[in-house]
Amino acid sequence: MSEVAFHEMPDGRLIAYRLAQGAGPVLVFLPGYMSDMAGGKATALFEEAQTRGRACLLLDYSGCGQSAGDFADGTLSRWRDEVLGLIATHTSGPVLLVGSSMGGWLMLLVGEALADRLAGMIGIAAAPDFTRWGYSDGQRAILAVGETIHEDNPYGPEPTPTHPGFFADAETHLKLGGTIAIDCPVHLLHGQRDADVPWETSVRLASSLRSGAVQVTLIKDGDHRLSRDSDIARLKAEVARFYSTDTP
């Protein structure tokens, strides 16, 4: 892996990132909720990019990983602006977005803002609008009055918090109820044994995207993370479709 560098946002907060220089499009990996660039999928794609001579950008959202900030202040809008700031400052040319879980929601917001620079998107168990379908009416009511909720975390010892600021901001970024103005090629990967994000979410997302070049691949025995060797190999193969030539 390359050395971690830090990008300074206009308000002074520092966002950790790793950048591999190479041929485009530049792959930008967007982690899931409370995840960071040290995860298995991000690491595998970065190492593949270095081997193949491709450009790749990883980052930690503010309040996550090695970036500054408090996770309680994190929102989709805030993290979108961080991603766009890094892309604008440290990359050029077309961009390939790869979004995992919540990162699949965030990639829609980033993709809309990138406009003509957007070369493609790959969603991994993409979870747009999860503040609607992922919470009960009671949980949503608690968040709406400004209180934090906590849920059991199958991936770690501490419960997973959802803060009211994130919830309020997310309600302004709902995507599945209308047409998403994105026209690039999109491939959505989803495990049918996903216990966190129903696989039907990717089917709904495919219908909402304006693009006519949208594919959905359902992995019958796949879980939410899709991080087995076979899953990583499939992801690498999907990424490779966006590159006509690679460095041997």
List the alpha helices (DSSP H) in 158-199. 164-170
Q: Would you say residue 33 lies in a domain?
A: yes
Q: Would you say residue 245 lies in a domain?
A: no
pLDDT category of residue 157 using cuts at 50, 70 and 90: confident
Domain that holds residue 181: 5-240
List the beta bridge partners of residue 160.
151
Over residues 51-93, the pLDDT tens digits come to 999 999 999 999 999 999 999 999 999 999 999 999 999 999 9
Over residues 38-61, the pLDDT tens digits come to 999 999 999 999 999 999 999 999
DSSP state of 180: B
Can you tell me whether residue 225 is helix, strand or coil? coil
* Amino acid present at 188: L
Q: Would you say residue 9 lies in a domain?
A: yes
Q: Which CATH number goes with the domain that contains 163?
A: 3.40.50.1820
User: Which are the catalytic amino acids?
Assistant: 101, 194, 224
Specify the number of domains making up the chain: 1
> What mean pLDDT value characterizes the chain?
96
User: Can you give the pLDDT at residue 246?
Assistant: 52
Q: Would you say residue 53 lies in a domain?
A: yes
User: Which residues, 6 or more positions from 63, have their beta carbon under 8 angstroms from its beta carbon?
Assistant: 69, 70, 71, 72, 73, 74
User: Which residues, 6 or more positions from 178, have their beta carbon under 8 angstroms from its beta carbon?
Assistant: 208
